[in-house]
Amino acid sequence: MSKKAATVTEDELLQRRISHAQWLAGMLQDPTSTASLTVAAYADLLDELLQDVAVEAHREHRTGLLAPHGPQQQQPRPQPLAPLPGVKGATDVFGQVHPGTATDIVTCMHCGRKAQAGKFAYHLEKCLARGRGAAGGARTSRRAGV
C-alpha cells in the first residue's frame, strides 16, 4: 500500500509541476507581463556578458596575452621506436632489417675491378669517364680551343 501512496504522491507532484509550467508559459505569451519582461531583461544581461567575455578572450588571443593550453598545444614529442628483440641493425617501418650500405662484392665489367655494391655506381662513373670530373675536363679542353 505504501508503494501506491508513493506513486500517487509522485503523480500529484508531476501534475503540479506540469500545471505550473503551463501557467508560466501562458505568462510568457503576454509581452507586457512581469514574467515576460523579467525573462527579457535577464536574456539581455546574459547576451551582454557573453559578448564581453568573447571580445576580451579574442583580444587576449590576438595580442598574445592568452596563455596557450589544451591538448593541441602540449603534444608529446615523438620517440624513436624501440629496437625489435633479436634484430641486429636498422629496421624500416615494416620491421624489415636493411643494412646501412650494400656489402656485396661486384666485379666491374669494364675494368675487372671489384667494388662493394654500395659504391659500384661511383666506381662505374669514374671507370667509364662520365663522372663529374670527366665532364669538367671536357669543358676545360673546349674552352682552350682544343
pLDDT tens, position by position, 59-111: 988 888 776 665 555 567 777 667 666 666 667 777 777 766 677 888 888 88
pTM listed for this prediction: 0.35
For residue 25, is pLDDT > 50?
yes
pLDDT at residue number 146? 47
Alpha carbon distance 82, 91 (integer Å):
10
Pinpoint the alpha helices (H) of the chain. 2-29, 34-63, 120-127, 132-143
The answer to whether the beta carbons of residues 23 and 30 sit under 8 Å apart is: no
Give yes or no for a contact between 106 and 117, defined as CB atoms under 8 angstroms apart. Answer: yes
